């Protein structure tokens, strides 16, 4: 197996450290570079030592350009603005890019799609292999049951999460809407408060919980007259996201330019 050189944006953060540990332990992977924002106290420190493993002899840099070019694939769970900048760097260097960032707006999403015309990009709001399968199941169940069944999506994350609903919850909503052959923005109900009236037919509702150190919990409820189906996924730690991202990185290196999802990585396209 050829060695895949991995670069990690935000390598000193919780997710970045997990990526370093999982990549180092994965056959065929070599952590080759890592970056942090300018002014971070981690600049100049050893990437391995920061992640709680043996030193790797690689210092954290504040120059993201150092990741693109020397590395075959760069992994990123960061902010939308940073992700757009880095997608441009990846396209210019010909480096595959694996993106787990959520909360991108339409213009930022379009910028990532533009970069994917030059390089392979795997972009998923949740890198969990289990969530990927759940998303496909939601699409199929929504299509089979039809609009007579109400759909509600419930998600919970740790108190530090910045965006709501989570990118994963929105992706599950998109899957449900696709199954019904409707556009999610036209049927989504993101908040309910006060005298909101009866539930509209065909609505896809979202509920958000935040607290503690919850890594991520998502449930999709299909509620009919006298019966209910619940499809759920619970993450007990962030390693599942790192494992999925590393699998995506090894897969992406061998692909042609294009925008890919985790279902492509898992071979679920065409389900």
Supply the pLDDT for residue 78. 92
Q: Where are the alpha helices (DSSP H) in 74-196?
A: 80-93, 106-115, 129-145, 167-180, 184-187
Return the CATH number of 129-235, one of 3.30.460.10, 3.40.50.2300, 3.30.360.10, 3.40.50.720.
3.30.360.10
* Three-state DSSP class for residue 233: strand
Give me the active site residues, please.
157, 161
Mean pLDDT value across the chain: 94
DSSP 175: H
pLDDT digits over 201-211, tens only?
Answer: 999 999 999 99
**Sequence spans of domains, the chain:** 4-123+238-265, 129-235
Q: Which pLDDT band holds residue 1 (cuts at 50, 70, 90)? A: low
pLDDT digits over 110-148, tens only?
Answer: 999 999 999 999 999 889 999 999 999 999 999 999 889
Helix (H) or strand (E) holding 110: helix 106-115
The answer on pLDDT for 19 being more than 90 is: yes
Task: Identify which of 167, 169, 87 has the alpha carbon closest to the alpha carbon of residue 121.
Answer: 87
- Greater confidence (255 vs 268) lies with 255
pLDDT digits over 90-109, tens only?
Answer: 999 999 999 999 889 999 99
The answer on pLDDT for 13 being more than 70 is: yes
Instruction: Note the pTM of the prediction, 2 decimals.
Output: 0.81
Task: Identify which of 94, 240, 38 has the alpha carbon closest to the alpha carbon of residue 10.
Answer: 38
pLDDT digits over 59-99, tens only?
Answer: 999 999 999 989 999 999 999 999 999 999 999 999 999 99
Mean local confidence (pLDDT), 23-52: 96
CATH of domain 4-123+238-265: 3.40.50.720
Q: Which pLDDT band holds residue 271 (cuts at 50, 70, 90)? A: low
Q: Find out whether 74 and 9 touch, Cβ atoms under 8 Å.
A: yes
Q: How many CB atoms lie within 10 A of CB 224?
A: 12
Mean local confidence (pLDDT), 246-256: 96
Contacting residues for 242 by C-beta, under 8 A, at least 6 apart: 15, 18, 19, 21, 22, 23, 127
């Amino acid at each position: 197996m050829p060695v895949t050189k991995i670069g990690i944006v935000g390598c000193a953060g919780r997710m970045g450290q997990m990526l370093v540990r999982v990549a180092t332990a994965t056959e065929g992977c070599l952590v080759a570079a890592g970056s942090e924002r300018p002014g971070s106290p981690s600049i100049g420190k050893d990437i391995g030592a920061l992640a709680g493993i043996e030193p790797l002899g690689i210092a954290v840099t504040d120059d993201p350009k150092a990741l693109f070019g020397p590395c075959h694939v760069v992994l990123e769970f960061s902010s939308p603005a940073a992700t757009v900048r880095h997608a441009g760097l990846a396209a210019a260097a010909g480096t595959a890019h694996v993106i787990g960032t959520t909360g991108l707006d339409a213009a930022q999403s379009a910028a990532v799609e533009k970069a994917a015309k030059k390089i392979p990009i795997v972009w998923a709001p949740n890198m969990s292999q289990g969530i990927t399968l759940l998303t496909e199941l939601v699409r199929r169940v929504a299509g089979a049951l039809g609009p007579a069944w109400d759909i509600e999506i419930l998600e919970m994350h740790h108190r530090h999460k910045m965006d709501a609903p989570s990118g994963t919850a929105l992706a599950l909503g998109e899957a449900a809407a696709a199954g019904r052959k409707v556009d999610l923005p036209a049927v989504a109900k993101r908040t309910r408060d006060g005298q909101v009236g009866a539930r509209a037919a065909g609505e896809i509702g979202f509920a958000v919980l935040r607290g503690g150190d919850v890594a991520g919990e998502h449930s999709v409820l299909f509620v009919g007259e006298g019966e209910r189906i619940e499809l759920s996924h619970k993450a007990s730690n962030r390693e599942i996201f790192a494992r999925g991202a590393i699998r995506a990185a090894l897969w992406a290196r061998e692909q042609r330019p294009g925008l890919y999802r985790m279902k492509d990585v898992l071979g679920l396209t065409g389900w």
